[in-house]
């Protein structure tokens, strides 16, 4: 494919058959996916633990919920740190180190003598877990040609989706059996295995990474992270990508945050059962990631956007208004497929926002997505009583379809350096 990367990747046709992948790169992708799985899993594992934590520490649910909310805040704030750090010292090295440090934070969580210790330990985990997924994507961008980048990102993303699915399962199973402390110990062991494997990789050595594209010199725009971020944001193409990402996160996650509660009320089922139905979204994402190589080559960017947006709007409308739980289960599964078709496309374009500073570029991507999710949840939760959860879920799907249809046009009319 003869895409001119200075004007952005092609949005009109599917990529041609991918180029060969080096054996060393092939070995690195699974361990990055494993680390990404751990990072996502540790985010979600505390959700089912809250009642047990409240009982052990003699606290209210609102008080123990800080293990989730402060984790999210720390995760978001640390994005601006890891972008420039990874660009400076090496992306693979940063992912390896932060993965190892997550194991330390998980161990501290498992040994927590009180709630304050546990909250502090969770913040420590978040501070290091924040690097793993965005910096891994940036590393993939540095080490793959655009022809194979999106499918390679999907391979890493498979770990992320598996973590989304497994996090609550791990937390629930250990809480109900061996105890919540063993859940943290188990995930800490997984972090240790992934981080140790990467730390022993020659790619993690100082100076092992070198830039293969002619970057915009970071020195010419200042070394401070905010200078580099402002440089990226001063260009039209990154602004359009990140603007789409904000609305994408707000539209989908704002709507999906209501799904379990909506199903509980509309289908008259337990919260546990409605949570399982909503959780099929993650399984749909896994299915897309497994088939991504073939889907990407067949559909290309425009087809992925149109198809993903269509699947999301149909599935969320079904979830919003169907009275039959089997239809809702299928719709939840399909929503994960549609979401990932569009999201994976946004990831691939984001890797080209700042080829010479991919660390800061992908940190902006992650931070922007996180901001969009937070905005969406605030908006939908505040409007749920007046508009109804079903309508808000359906509107979220309509918004996603509009974004997906507009995105290819936005990219065609946005030069990279304007």
Q: Is residue 2 part of a domain?
A: no
Residue 18 DSSP one-character state: P
Per-residue three-class SS string for 308-344: HHHHHHHHHHHHHHCCCHHHHHHHHHHHHHHHHHHHH
Can you tell me the mean pLDDT for 173-201? 91
Q: Is residue 219 part of a domain?
A: no
Cα 62–320–405 angle (5° rounding)? 105
Residues 232 and 152 in one domain: no
Q: Is residue 329 part of a domain?
A: yes
Entry field: residues in the chain: 418
- Give the separation between CA 66 and CA 335, rounded to whole angstroms: 29
Helix, strand and coil percent figures for the chain, each rounded to 5: 80, 0, 20
Q: Is the pLDDT of residue 13 over 80?
A: no
Q: Is residue 167 part of a domain?
A: yes
Q: Is residue 10 part of a domain?
A: no
Locate 324 and state its tokens.
């039959």
Residues 133 and 245 in one domain: no
Q: Is residue 215 part of a domain?
A: no
- Give the separation between CA 338 and CA 316, rounded to whole angstroms: 10
* Cβ count near 227 (within 10 Å): 13
Residues 258 and 132 in one domain: no
114 φ/ψ angles, rounded to the nearest 5 degrees? -150, 175
Q: Report how many domains make up the chain.
A: 2
87 φ/ψ angles, rounded to the nearest 5 degrees? -60, -30
Of the candidates 139, 128, 40, the one whose C-alpha atom is nearest the C-alpha of residue 79 is: 128
Last residue of a domain, one of 177, 208, 239: 208
Residues 143 and 243 in one domain: no
Average pLDDT, the chain: 82
* Cβ count near 352 (within 10 Å): 24
Least confident of 13-17, 92-96, 233-237, 360-364: 13-17
Of the candidates 36, 299, 289, the one whose C-alpha atom is nearest the C-alpha of residue 164 is: 36
Q: What is the pLDDT of residue 20?
A: 47
Q: Most confidently modeled of 57-66, 90-99, 171-180?
A: 90-99
Where is 100: in which H helix or E strand?
helix 91-110
Residues 232 and 370 in one domain: yes
Q: Are 366 and 79 in contact (CB under 8 A)?
A: yes
Locate 87 and state its tokens.
């660009």
Can you tell me the mean pLDDT for 65-88? 82
Residues 82 and 167 in one domain: yes
Residue 57 DSSP one-character state: T
The enclosing domain of 377 has a CATH number of 1.20.1250.20
Last residue of a domain, one of 145, 173, 208: 208
Q: Is residue 18 part of a domain?
A: no
Residues 53 and 176 in one domain: yes
Q: What is the pLDDT of residue 18?
A: 42
Least confident of 2-11, 113-122, 252-261: 2-11
In this prediction, residue 215 has a pLDDT band, given cuts at 50, 70 and 90, of very low
Q: Are 160 and 133 in contact (CB under 8 A)?
A: yes
- Distance, CA of 41 to chain centre: 11
Q: Most confidently modeled of 91-95, 190-194, 252-256?
A: 190-194
pTM of the model: 0.75
Q: Are 147 and 337 in contact (CB under 8 A)?
A: no
Q: Could you give the residue ranges of the DSSP H alpha helices within 200-235?
A: 218-221, 225-233
| Percent share of the chain, pLDDT over 70 | 86
Maximal CA-CA distance, the chain: 63
Of the candidates 390, 385, 380, the one whose C-alpha atom is nearest the C-alpha of residue 263 is: 390
Last residue of a domain, one of 153, 183, 208: 208
Q: How far apart are the first and last CA of the chain?
A: 24
* Cβ count near 179 (within 10 Å): 15
Q: What is the pLDDT of residue 208?
A: 62
Q: Is residue 117 part of a domain?
A: yes
Q: Are 345 and 301 in contact (CB under 8 A)?
A: yes
Q: Is the pLDDT of residue 340 over 60?
A: yes
Beta strands in 188-321 (DSSP E): none
Which range marks the domain in which residue 409 is found?
224-418
- Give the separation between CA 349 and CA 363, rounded to whole angstroms: 14
Q: What is the pLDDT of residue 79?
A: 81
Residues 180 and 293 in one domain: no
Helices and strands: H and E segment counts in the chain = 17, 0
Residues 132 and 165 in one domain: yes
Q: Is the pLDDT of residue 277 over 90?
A: no
Residues 183 and 60 in one domain: yes
> If DSSP codes are grouped into helix, strand and coil, which group holds residue 163?
helix
Residues 199 and 280 in one domain: no
| Percent share of the chain, pLDDT over 90 | 32
Residues 296 and 416 in one domain: yes
Q: What is the pLDDT of residue 393?
A: 92
């Amino acid at each position: 494919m003869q895409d001119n990367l200075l004007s952005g990747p092609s949005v009109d046709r599917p990529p041609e058959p991918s180029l060969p992948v080096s054996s060393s790169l092939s070995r690195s992708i699974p361990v990055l996916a494993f680390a990404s799985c751990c990072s996502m899993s540790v985010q979600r594992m505390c959700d089912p633990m809250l009642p047990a934590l409240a009982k052990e520490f003699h606290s209210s649910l609102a008080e123990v919920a800080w293990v989730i909310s402060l984790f999210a805040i720390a995760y978001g704030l640390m994005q601006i740190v890891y972008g420039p750090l990874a660009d400076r010292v090496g992306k693979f090295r940063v992912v390896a180190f932060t993965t190892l440090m997550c194991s330390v934070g998980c161990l501290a969580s498992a040994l927590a003598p009180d709630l304050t210790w546990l909250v502090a330990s969770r913040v420590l985990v978040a501070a290091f877990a924040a690097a793993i997924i965005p910096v891994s994507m940036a590393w993939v961008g540095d080490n793959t040609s655009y022809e194979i980048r999106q499918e390679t990102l999907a391979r890493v993303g498979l770990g992320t989706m598996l973590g989304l699915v497994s996090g609550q399962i791990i937390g629930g199973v250990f809480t109900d059996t061996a105890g919540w402390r063993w859940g943290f110990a188990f995930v800490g062991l997984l972090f240790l295995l992934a981080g140790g494997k990467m730390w022993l990789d020659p790619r993690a050595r100082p100076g092992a990474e070198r830039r293969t594209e002619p970057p915009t010199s970071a020195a010419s725009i200042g070394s401070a992270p905010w200078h580099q971020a402002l440089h990226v944001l001063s260009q039209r193409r990154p602004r359009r990508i990140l603007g789409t990402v904000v609305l994408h996160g707000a539209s989908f996650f704002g709507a999906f945050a209501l799904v379990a509660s909506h199903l509980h009320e509309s289908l008259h089922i337990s919260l546990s059962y409605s949570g399982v139905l909503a959780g099929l979204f993650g399984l749909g994402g896994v299915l897309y990631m497994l088939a991504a190589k073939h889907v990407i080559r067949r559909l290309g960017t425009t087809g992925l956007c149109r198809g993903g947006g269509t699947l999301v709007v149909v599935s969320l409308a079904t979830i919003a208004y169907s009275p039959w739980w089997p239809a809702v289960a299928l719709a939840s599964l399909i929503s994960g497929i549609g979401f990932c078709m569009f999201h994976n496309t946004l990831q691939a374009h984001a890797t080209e926002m700042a080829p010479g500073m991919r660390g800061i570029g992908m940190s902006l991507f992650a931070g922007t997505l996180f901001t969009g999710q937070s905005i969406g949840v605030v908006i939908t939760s505040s409007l749920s009583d007046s508009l109804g959860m079903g309508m808000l879920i359906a509107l979220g799907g309509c918004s996603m379809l509009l974004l997906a249809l507009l995105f290819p046009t936005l990219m065609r009319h946005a030069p990279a350096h304007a």
